[in-house]
Amino acid sequence: MKRSDLKKTALAAGIGVLVLVGATAAFLTSSDVAYNLFSVGKVDLDVEEDFDKDQTLAAGQIITKTPWIRNTGTVNEVFFAEVCVPVMRTTLVDASGQRIPPAGATDPVSAADFRQDAEIFHLLTDSGTEIAHATDDPMYGSFAYHGASADKKGWYYLGEGTTFTVTQEHPKEGFAEGTYHSYLFGYNAWVAPKDVTVPIFDKVQLRSMIDSELTGQTIGQVTVLGYALQ
Protein backbone atom coordinates (compact mmCIF):
# COMPACT_ATOMS: atom_id res chain seq x y z
CA MET A 1 0.00 0.00 0.00
CA LYS A 2 1.34 3.42 -0.87
CA ARG A 3 0.20 6.85 0.11
CA SER A 4 -0.03 9.67 -2.38
CA ASP A 5 1.72 12.94 -1.64
CA LEU A 6 -1.58 14.75 -1.89
CA LYS A 7 -3.16 15.77 1.38
CA LYS A 8 -5.75 18.29 2.50
CA THR A 9 -5.74 19.05 6.22
CA ALA A 10 -7.92 21.21 8.45
CA LEU A 11 -7.10 21.87 12.11
CA ALA A 12 -9.72 23.25 14.44
CA ALA A 13 -8.11 24.97 17.41
CA GLY A 14 -9.44 24.81 20.96
CA ILE A 15 -12.02 27.44 21.89
CA GLY A 16 -12.21 29.04 25.28
CA VAL A 17 -15.62 30.32 26.32
CA LEU A 18 -16.02 32.67 29.24
CA VAL A 19 -19.37 32.78 30.98
CA LEU A 20 -19.90 35.47 33.56
CA VAL A 21 -22.28 34.77 36.39
CA GLY A 22 -22.39 37.51 38.95
CA ALA A 23 -23.87 40.63 40.45
CA THR A 24 -26.47 42.30 38.27
CA ALA A 25 -28.09 44.42 40.96
CA ALA A 26 -26.58 46.87 43.44
CA PHE A 27 -27.92 45.04 46.51
CA LEU A 28 -25.96 41.83 45.69
CA THR A 29 -22.76 41.73 47.69
CA SER A 30 -20.90 38.77 46.06
CA SER A 31 -20.13 37.42 42.60
CA ASP A 32 -18.49 34.44 40.92
CA VAL A 33 -17.07 33.60 37.49
CA ALA A 34 -17.45 30.18 35.84
CA TYR A 35 -14.95 29.25 33.10
CA ASN A 36 -16.08 26.61 30.60
CA LEU A 37 -13.37 25.35 28.24
CA PHE A 38 -14.36 23.46 25.07
CA SER A 39 -11.79 21.60 22.99
CA VAL A 40 -12.60 20.90 19.31
CA GLY A 41 -11.01 17.79 17.81
CA LYS A 42 -8.42 17.65 15.08
CA VAL A 43 -9.73 17.22 11.52
CA ASP A 44 -7.20 15.53 9.24
CA LEU A 45 -7.01 13.01 6.39
CA ASP A 46 -4.71 11.14 4.03
CA VAL A 47 -5.45 10.16 0.46
CA GLU A 48 -3.97 6.66 0.12
CA GLU A 49 -3.86 4.24 -2.78
CA ASP A 50 -2.66 0.88 -4.00
CA PHE A 51 -0.52 1.93 -6.97
CA ASP A 52 2.97 1.40 -8.37
CA LYS A 53 4.17 4.75 -9.74
CA ASP A 54 7.12 3.30 -11.69
CA GLN A 55 5.25 1.76 -14.62
CA THR A 56 5.45 2.05 -18.39
CA LEU A 57 2.00 1.89 -19.95
CA ALA A 58 0.91 0.58 -23.33
CA ALA A 59 -2.34 1.40 -25.12
CA GLY A 60 -5.19 -0.62 -23.69
CA GLN A 61 -3.20 -1.77 -20.65
CA ILE A 62 -5.09 -1.99 -17.36
CA ILE A 63 -3.21 -1.38 -14.11
CA THR A 64 -4.21 -1.27 -10.44
CA LYS A 65 -4.81 2.18 -9.03
CA THR A 66 -7.12 2.00 -6.03
CA PRO A 67 -7.56 5.27 -4.09
CA TRP A 68 -9.35 5.73 -0.77
CA ILE A 69 -9.33 8.28 2.07
CA ARG A 70 -8.23 7.61 5.67
CA ASN A 71 -9.36 9.61 8.69
CA THR A 72 -6.14 10.60 10.48
CA GLY A 73 -7.89 13.05 12.77
CA THR A 74 -9.43 12.57 16.20
CA VAL A 75 -13.13 13.02 15.37
CA ASN A 76 -15.62 11.52 12.94
CA GLU A 77 -15.38 13.10 9.49
CA VAL A 78 -17.26 13.10 6.20
CA PHE A 79 -15.20 13.20 3.01
CA PHE A 80 -15.35 14.63 -0.48
CA ALA A 81 -13.04 13.73 -3.35
CA GLU A 82 -11.99 15.41 -6.58
CA VAL A 83 -10.75 13.00 -9.28
CA CYS A 84 -8.60 14.68 -11.94
CA VAL A 85 -8.18 12.89 -15.29
CA PRO A 86 -5.46 13.98 -17.78
CA VAL A 87 -6.66 15.39 -21.13
CA MET A 88 -4.51 15.31 -24.28
CA ARG A 89 -4.80 16.32 -27.94
CA THR A 90 -4.91 12.99 -29.75
CA THR A 91 -6.66 10.68 -32.23
CA LEU A 92 -8.63 7.98 -30.45
CA VAL A 93 -8.87 4.43 -31.84
CA ASP A 94 -11.69 1.95 -31.16
CA ALA A 95 -11.40 -1.80 -30.49
CA SER A 96 -11.28 -2.58 -34.22
CA GLY A 97 -8.46 -0.11 -34.84
CA GLN A 98 -10.67 2.50 -36.52
CA ARG A 99 -10.18 6.17 -35.71
CA ILE A 100 -12.97 7.72 -33.63
CA PRO A 101 -14.22 11.03 -35.03
CA PRO A 102 -14.97 13.94 -32.67
CA ALA A 103 -18.55 14.51 -31.60
CA GLY A 104 -20.51 16.34 -34.29
CA ALA A 105 -18.02 15.54 -37.07
CA THR A 106 -19.46 15.31 -40.58
CA ASP A 107 -18.26 13.25 -43.54
CA PRO A 108 -15.77 13.33 -45.01
CA VAL A 109 -13.38 13.66 -42.06
CA SER A 110 -9.75 14.46 -42.86
CA ALA A 111 -6.90 12.88 -40.88
CA ALA A 112 -6.26 16.13 -39.04
CA ASP A 113 -9.93 16.41 -38.08
CA PHE A 114 -9.75 13.21 -36.02
CA ARG A 115 -7.47 14.90 -33.48
CA GLN A 116 -9.40 16.04 -30.44
CA ASP A 117 -8.97 16.92 -26.79
CA ALA A 118 -9.73 13.70 -24.93
CA GLU A 119 -9.34 12.09 -21.53
CA ILE A 120 -6.57 9.52 -21.95
CA PHE A 121 -7.68 7.05 -19.24
CA HIS A 122 -10.70 4.88 -18.52
CA LEU A 123 -11.42 4.49 -14.78
CA LEU A 124 -12.68 1.04 -13.85
CA THR A 125 -13.94 -0.97 -10.87
CA ASP A 126 -13.91 -4.68 -10.10
CA SER A 127 -17.54 -4.91 -8.97
CA GLY A 128 -20.48 -2.98 -7.57
CA THR A 129 -20.09 -0.12 -9.99
CA GLU A 130 -21.93 3.00 -10.98
CA ILE A 131 -21.15 5.15 -14.03
CA ALA A 132 -20.11 8.73 -13.34
CA HIS A 133 -21.47 10.05 -16.61
CA ALA A 134 -23.19 8.72 -19.71
CA THR A 135 -22.30 10.42 -22.99
CA ASP A 136 -21.54 9.56 -26.58
CA ASP A 137 -18.87 12.24 -26.74
CA PRO A 138 -15.55 10.38 -27.27
CA MET A 139 -13.76 13.15 -25.38
CA TYR A 140 -14.83 11.43 -22.14
CA GLY A 141 -13.34 8.13 -21.07
CA SER A 142 -15.39 5.53 -19.21
CA PHE A 143 -15.62 6.31 -15.49
CA ALA A 144 -16.97 3.63 -13.16
CA TYR A 145 -16.91 4.15 -9.39
CA HIS A 146 -18.08 2.43 -6.19
CA GLY A 147 -21.48 4.04 -5.73
CA ALA A 148 -23.41 4.44 -2.49
CA SER A 149 -26.86 3.11 -1.69
CA ALA A 150 -29.25 3.14 1.28
CA ASP A 151 -27.62 0.00 2.72
CA LYS A 152 -24.10 0.28 1.33
CA LYS A 153 -21.23 2.66 2.01
CA GLY A 154 -19.85 4.32 -1.07
CA TRP A 155 -19.60 7.48 -3.14
CA TYR A 156 -22.18 9.81 -4.66
CA TYR A 157 -21.27 11.46 -7.95
CA LEU A 158 -21.81 15.21 -7.48
CA GLY A 159 -20.97 16.31 -11.02
CA GLU A 160 -18.14 17.62 -13.12
CA GLY A 161 -15.67 20.01 -11.56
CA THR A 162 -13.35 22.11 -13.71
CA THR A 163 -10.87 21.79 -16.57
CA PHE A 164 -7.49 23.28 -15.69
CA THR A 165 -3.97 23.38 -17.10
CA VAL A 166 -0.72 22.92 -15.16
CA THR A 167 2.43 24.57 -16.56
CA GLN A 168 5.88 25.56 -15.32
CA GLU A 169 4.53 29.07 -14.82
CA HIS A 170 1.40 27.78 -13.09
CA PRO A 171 2.41 24.58 -11.24
CA LYS A 172 0.13 22.52 -9.01
CA GLU A 173 1.52 20.25 -6.30
CA GLY A 174 1.33 16.58 -7.24
CA PHE A 175 0.49 17.22 -10.91
CA ALA A 176 2.63 16.79 -14.04
CA GLU A 177 2.32 19.52 -16.65
CA GLY A 178 -0.78 19.19 -18.82
CA THR A 179 -4.54 19.65 -18.86
CA TYR A 180 -6.93 17.88 -16.47
CA HIS A 181 -10.69 17.38 -16.24
CA SER A 182 -12.07 16.86 -12.73
CA TYR A 183 -15.07 15.09 -11.19
CA LEU A 184 -16.52 15.61 -7.70
CA PHE A 185 -17.72 12.92 -5.27
CA GLY A 186 -19.13 12.81 -1.76
CA TYR A 187 -18.98 9.91 0.71
CA ASN A 188 -22.30 8.77 2.19
CA ALA A 189 -21.14 7.94 5.74
CA TRP A 190 -19.18 9.37 8.63
CA VAL A 191 -15.68 7.90 8.92
CA ALA A 192 -14.30 7.24 12.40
CA PRO A 193 -10.67 8.05 13.34
CA LYS A 194 -8.18 5.63 11.73
CA ASP A 195 -10.89 4.16 9.48
CA VAL A 196 -10.97 4.42 5.68
CA THR A 197 -13.58 4.91 2.98
CA VAL A 198 -14.27 2.31 0.35
CA PRO A 199 -12.15 2.92 -2.77
CA ILE A 200 -13.47 5.36 -5.35
CA PHE A 201 -12.38 3.10 -8.23
CA ASP A 202 -9.97 0.16 -8.65
CA LYS A 203 -8.08 0.37 -11.95
CA VAL A 204 -7.13 2.68 -14.80
CA GLN A 205 -6.73 1.84 -18.48
CA LEU A 206 -4.75 3.87 -20.99
CA ARG A 207 -7.00 4.51 -23.99
CA SER A 208 -5.94 3.42 -27.47
CA MET A 209 -4.70 6.43 -29.43
CA ILE A 210 -2.44 7.51 -32.26
CA ASP A 211 -1.05 10.80 -33.57
CA SER A 212 -0.84 12.25 -30.08
CA GLU A 213 1.48 14.15 -27.77
CA LEU A 214 2.08 10.97 -25.81
CA THR A 215 5.17 9.58 -27.60
CA GLY A 216 8.36 9.89 -25.58
CA GLN A 217 6.81 11.93 -22.80
CA THR A 218 5.85 11.41 -19.20
CA ILE A 219 2.12 11.92 -18.93
CA GLY A 220 0.01 13.04 -16.03
CA GLN A 221 -1.61 10.34 -13.93
CA VAL A 222 -5.12 10.28 -12.56
CA THR A 223 -4.87 12.29 -9.33
CA VAL A 224 -7.24 12.30 -6.36
CA LEU A 225 -7.66 15.21 -3.93
CA GLY A 226 -9.44 14.70 -0.61
CA TYR A 227 -11.44 17.15 1.51
CA ALA A 228 -12.93 16.71 4.99
CA LEU A 229 -15.81 18.16 6.98
CA GLN A 230 -16.36 17.69 10.69
pLDDT tens figures, 185-195: 999 999 999 99
Digit-coded pLDDT (tens) for 22-35:
334 444 455 556 55
68 vs 4, higher pLDDT: 68
The reported pTM is 0.78
Alpha carbons 148 and 146: distance in angstroms, whole number:
7
Residue 116 has pLDDT above 90, yes or no: no
Q: pLDDT at residue 99 above 80?
A: yes
**Of 175, 228, 222, 160, which is closest to residue 197 (Cα–Cα)?**
228
Whole-number Å distance between alpha carbons of 85 and 161: 11
pLDDT at residue 16, rounded to an integer: 34
Q: What is the pLDDT of residue 15?
A: 33
What pLDDT shows up at residue 211? 72
Of the spans 18-32, 60-74, 98-112, which averages the highest pLDDT? 60-74
Q: What span, in angstroms and rounded, lies between the C-alpha atoms of 85 and 89? A: 14
Could you please report the per-residue DSSP string of 91-159? EEB-TTSPBPPPTT--SS--TGGG-EEEE-EEEE-SSSEEES-----TTSPPBEEEB-BTTB--EEEEE
The predicted pLDDT at position 10 comes to 36
Number of other CB atoms surrounding residue 12 within 10 Å? 14
Q: Residues 189-225: pLDDT tens digits?
A: 999 999 999 999 999 999 888 876 654 555 678 999 9
| Angle made by CA atoms 174, 177, 178, in degrees to the nearest 5 | 115
Q: Is the pLDDT of residue 100 over 90?
A: no
CA–CA distance, 62 with 122 (Å, rounded to integer): 9
Instruction: Compute CA 28 distance to the chain's CA centroid, rounded to the nearest angstrom.
Output: 62
Name the band, by pLDDT with cuts 50, 70 and 90, for residue 129. confident
Contact 57, 203 (CB under 8 A): no
pLDDT at 159 over 70: yes
Distance CA 203, CA 64 (A): 4
Cβ burial, residue 174 (10 Å; 0-12/13-18/19+): middle
Question: What's the CA gap between 91 and 16, in Å, rounded?
Answer: 61
